[in-house]
Structure 1
Amino acid sequence: MSRRRVFGIGAAGVTAVGAGAIAARSLPQEPPVANAFSNSGPFPFYGEHQAGIVTPAQDRLHFVAFDVTTDKRAELADLLQEWTAAAARLTQGKEAGAFGAVGGAAEAAPDDTGEALGLPASGLTLTIGFGASLFDERFGLAGKRPAALLDLPKFPGEQLIPEISGGDICVQACAHDPQVAVHAIRNLARIGFGRVSVRWSQLGFGRTSSTSRAQVTPRNLMGFKDGTDNMKLEDAALLRDQLWAAPQDGAAWMAGGSYLVTRKIRMTIETWDRTSLREQEDIFGRDKGEGAPVGKKNEFDPVDLAAMKPDAHVRLAHPSSNGGAHLLRRGYNYVDGSDGLGRLDAGLFFIAYQRDPREQFVPVQMSLARNDSLNEYIKHVSSGLFACPPGVRDAGDYWGRTLFA
């Protein structure tokens, strides 16, 4: 699908669970076409911004956070160049290395692990980000840590697990085929052996956000349409103001990039499933079927916040309740088996991009953590904040080059 085609498509939205749900305007819109982006073709890898941010959200996710195990700056820079070359190939449906899974010498390990042989690109995008811990004394980068890459405050009620939080580097792989997404992360981990190690990773399915008006609004595991008012790739002025970092923000190397917040939000779905429909709808501030706001008939009717309960999720998360702050969300459902106590370990892997988390995610999540009636049914168990640099301009560029320049 061409860039012109992507930017010319028309109408949908998204609002809901966890820290977030936020966006521009609720305008009357024509119904979008279901699965408008279920094509298996490739998205461009090179560009001003990284793919996988405003790219129409794919159906599957494999997200990974790495710890850097080398203490040599040159080795880290070399790895980023190797990763970029592999990512450029993988996102176009090619194998990770020049000789692929079977084209090299039989006595040597293959250049690709091979489990995606015969599969198309499946809309794969790979997006990289750098955590605050990368900006310590190891690589001489302390002076380049952006002020916006802060240590997140402790929010009321969160129960974070350190082993599945943070990380030096993250990579987000999104695709329409889970095997393609897993294959990409597996090969980046293989290439990074001896220089990075996997800290934690998360699989996701069933996107819980739409990032284009051509996409229908999806549902989260609580059964509600999620993120009706999400920012969209068609909102150019809003994205410029709320999503993309600018040179005047204080970290020149981040210009054209964005800040990524991840939160693993476990849902106590067994308790939720025994809650009355009326209470469920009061908690969200929307009806469960159509997704219409309180007192309205259609999903995209203008929201009347005053008609909602004071602790309704939509009311607390809405931009007008947060000084105009918006987030671009592209989260995913997850089910990680059971907890050994007869309950599913399930919920939302929340992903949100923004220009400055100090002005966007932090105040929104603080309001939700203190007042949201949904908190009775959710628990934040992991957290991450990463600075995602601008896009790779051409084959001579690489992920993070502006940081190391």
Structure 2
Amino acid sequence: MTEQDRMDAPAPSVEEGGGVSRRAVLGTAGAVAGAAALTAGGFAAGRATASPLQQHAYDFFGAHQSGIVTPQQDRLHFAAFDITTDSRARVISLLRRWSEAAARLMTGSELGSGAAGGAYAAPPDDTGEALGLPASGLTITFGFGPGLFDDRFGLASKRPAQLIDLPRFSGDTLEERFTGGDLCIQACADDPQVAVHAIRNLSRLAFGDAAIRWSQLGFGRTSSTTRAQQTPRNFMGFKDGTANLRAEDTDLVDRWVWADATDGQPWMAGGSYLVARRIRILAEIWDRTSLQQQEQDVGRTKGSGAPLSGGSEFTEPDFSATGRDGEPLIRPTSHVALAHPSANGGAMMMRRGYNFTDGADDLGRLDAGLFFLAYVRDPATQFVPVQNALSSSDVMTIEYLRTTGSALFAIPPGLPAGSVLGSDGAFVGQELFA
């Protein structure tokens, strides 16, 4: 099954009463963290009648995990976890529970006997806030951070060379509460409550084996992953991701997104690497900047998204074009000029970023910006050079943006169709532990 086939395939049916046992889901630490997050990021907005998009369910199984080239949904709940056990067997058990639960959640089903069934004197299997809601295009994507490959689990020799420790870039103001993690889960959906429900219940399943290190809610996608999607706008008001990879560009996706066995670690074949960066916009400064200055710093018009060298949004920028004064129409220090593939050896990324807002800081300034997510085959050659150029020369990065969180995860391949899940069954990342 190709990735495009899997994106369009109906979800597998799940029998009622199946799935994860009640004993596996006891625990409250992760659930409290998920519930507390509900008040941020616009997630408290009302819900209209389910749209066709919300009714759609994606298949959990496939050569690649869902949530990478899947048509990007409008909402996100992302969580990074610290592993709290030293037992390799318990980590494997956790990944089995997570895989089984994710396959069920993506169909729009509750876990186990649900929120209203089972023993009356025990907590329900499912927290229940998504009861009655459709699948809402939910995708759940699992990743492994560098900490999984320390001395605890005998995996050091299987750490991919591509899973580097990201350098600290100029202008980074990283906060520990938004940095690192041994494991990650990316839950995307077209209903915010469905995305939060997924992380909340998966964190319950992790009790005793892993705990949330940090999480981020996102709304309003800032990229398009298929040509059928219109280019969205970021919190700076500009169209974002015009030059993003698209799922239909299969040759480019194979080259720049999917890992191959020849890359060094055969267990990662069909997987990818996820760069996560929490980028705060200094909104009070940006909002007082003239339109002319904003467009010159970005390199595109704010209205249409066209490059300043002319044309429409998808016209290729002409970095040699000059104005009457002989100066380049697109400044060499603009974001477009520095980030464009032509300035970076042709390197491209599959971006899946989201806007976020987390209220105000202690000085009353808006804490909002871009939660940058990008899937790449090799972070060292695709992401690091671009970020180095932006952090040293890009006026936007220097003047208006501050990166407060950063992490890198290896995203293993998906599970083949027909895989049997359960306490002794298949799980995402199983090749790593073979």
Q: Which residue of 1 aligns with 2:387?
A: 365
Find the aligned partners of 1:158 and 1:37 in 2 and give their Cα distance.
Answer: 41
3-state SS of 1:38 partner? helix
2:167 to 128, 150, 153: 153
Distance apart, 1:3 and its partner CA: 4.6
Give the alignment of 1:12-23 within 5 angstroms: none
Q: Which residue of 2 aligns with 1:398?
A: 427
Instruction: Specify every segment of 5 or more residues in structure 2 that has no aligned partner in the other structure, as ranges.
Output: 9-50, 321-328, 421-425
Find the aligned partners of 2:216 and 2:319 in 1 and give their Cα distance.
Answer: 34
Q: Which residue of 2 aligns with 1:85?
A: 100
User: Structure 1 counterpart of 2:432, which letter?
Assistant: L
3-state SS of 2:390 partner? helix
Q: Which residue of 1 aligns with 2:346?
A: 324
Give the alignment of 1:195-210 within 5 angstroms: 195-210=209-224
Asked if the contact 2:6/2:59 (under 8 Å) is kept, the reply is no
Find the aligned partners of 1:286 and 1:181 in 2 and give their Cα distance.
Answer: 33
Asked if the contact 1:207/1:331 (under 8 Å) is kept, the reply is yes
Residue 279 of structure 2 is aligned to residue 242 of structure 1: no
Instruction: Specify every segment of 5 or more residues in structure 1 that has no aligned partner in the other structure, as ranges.
Output: 8-35
3-state SS of 2:53 partner? coil
Find the aligned partners of 1:5 and 1:135 in 2 and give their Cα distance.
Answer: 31
User: Structure 1 counterpart of 2:359, which letter?
Assistant: G
Structure-2 change in CA distance of 1:334 and 1:37 (3 Å): farther
User: Structure 1 counterpart of 2:75, which letter?
Assistant: R
Q: Which residue of 2 aligns with 1:15?
A: none
Q: Which residue of 2 aligns with 1:383?
A: 406
Residue 51 of structure 2 is aligned to residue 45 of structure 1: no
Q: Which residue of 2 aligns with 1:129?
A: 143
Structure-2 change in CA distance of 1:147 and 1:302 (3 Å): same
User: Structure 2 counterpart of 1:404, which letter?
Assistant: F
Distance apart, 1:73 and its partner CA: 0.2
Distance apart, 1:154 and its partner CA: 1.5
Find the aligned partners of 2:171 and 2:307 in 1 and give their Cα distance.
Answer: 27
Q: Percent identity?
A: 60
Give the alignment of 1:197-346 within 5 angstroms: 197-306=211-320, 307-346=329-368
Alignment RMSD (CA, Å): 1.4
Residue 117 of structure 2 is aligned to residue 75 of structure 1: no
User: Structure 2 counterpart of 1:392, which letter?
Assistant: L
Structure-2 change in CA distance of 1:6 and 1:47 (3 Å): closer
Find the aligned partners of 2:387 and 2:294 in 1 and give their Cα distance.
Answer: 20
User: Structure 2 counterpart of 1:379, which letter?
Assistant: R
Runs of 4+ in 1 over 4 A off after TM superposition: 2-7
Find the aligned partners of 1:4 and 1:67 in 2 and give their Cα distance.
Answer: 34
3-state SS of 1:253 partner? helix
Find the aligned partners of 1:64 and 1:295 in 2 and give their Cα distance.
Answer: 40
Instruction: Identify which of structures 1 and 2 has the higher relative contact order when contacts are C-alpha pairs closer than 8 Å and 6+ apart.
Output: 1
Asked if the contact 1:37/1:215 (under 8 Å) is kept, the reply is no
Asked if the contact 1:316/1:368 (under 8 Å) is kept, the reply is yes
Find the aligned partners of 1:342 and 1:83 in 2 and give their Cα distance.
Answer: 39
Find the aligned partners of 2:288 and 2:200 in 1 and give their Cα distance.
Answer: 40
Find the aligned partners of 1:150 and 1:4 in 2 and give their Cα distance.
Answer: 32
Structure-2 change in CA distance of 1:247 and 1:379 (3 Å): same
Find the aligned partners of 1:164 and 1:82 in 2 and give their Cα distance.
Answer: 26
3-state SS of 2:380 partner? coil
3-state SS of 2:310 partner? coil
Distance apart, 1:37 and its partner CA: 7.8
Find the aligned partners of 1:107 and 1:71 in 2 and give their Cα distance.
Answer: 32
Distance apart, 1:6 and its partner CA: 5.9
Distance apart, 1:99 and its partner CA: 1.0
3-state SS of 1:402 partner? helix
In the TM superposition, what whole-angstrom CA distance separates every residue of 1:9-63 from its partner, at most 9, and x where no partner exists? xxxxxxxxxxxxxxxxxxxxxxxxxxx9834310111000000000010000000
3-state SS of 1:358 partner? helix
3-state SS of 2:306 partner? coil
Find the aligned partners of 2:380 and 2:183 in 1 and give their Cα distance.
Answer: 20
Distance apart, 1:87 and its partner CA: 0.2
Find the aligned partners of 1:4 and 1:68 in 2 and give their Cα distance.
Answer: 34
Distance apart, 1:295 and its partner CA: 2.4
Greater C-alpha Rg:
2
Q: Which residue of 1 aligns with 2:370?
A: 348
Q: Which residue of 2 aligns with 1:94?
A: 109
User: Structure 1 counterpart of 2:70, which letter?
Assistant: T
Asked if the contact 2:150/2:156 (under 8 Å) is kept, the reply is yes
Q: Which residue of 1 aligns with 2:129?
A: 115
Q: Which residue of 2 aligns with 1:65?
A: 80
Asked if the contact 1:40/1:176 (under 8 Å) is kept, the reply is no
3-state SS of 2:388 partner? helix
TM-score by length of 1: 0.90
TM-score by length of 2: 0.85
Q: Which residue of 1 aligns with 2:35?
A: none
Find the aligned partners of 2:405 and 2:300 in 1 and give their Cα distance.
Answer: 27
Find the aligned partners of 2:83 and 2:6 in 1 and give their Cα distance.
Answer: 39
User: Structure 2 counterpart of 1:50, which letter?
Assistant: Q
Find the aligned partners of 2:342 and 2:55 in 1 and give their Cα distance.
Answer: 38
- Identify which range, 336-345 or 193-202, moves more after superposition: 336-345
User: Structure 2 counterpart of 1:322, which letter?
Assistant: N
3-state SS of 2:391 partner? helix
User: Structure 1 counterpart of 2:405, which letter?
Assistant: S
3-state SS of 1:305 partner? coil
Asked if the contact 2:54/2:135 (under 8 Å) is kept, the reply is no
Asked if the contact 1:37/1:56 (under 8 Å) is kept, the reply is no
In the TM superposition, what whole-angstrom CA distance separates every residue of 1:283-333 from its partner, at most 9, and x where no partner exists? 110000000001213111121123410100011000110011111100000
Find the aligned partners of 2:344 and 2:5 in 1 and give their Cα distance.
Answer: 33
3-state SS of 1:359 partner? helix
Structure-2 change in CA distance of 1:402 and 1:182 (3 Å): same
Find the aligned partners of 1:302 and 1:139 in 2 and give their Cα distance.
Answer: 48
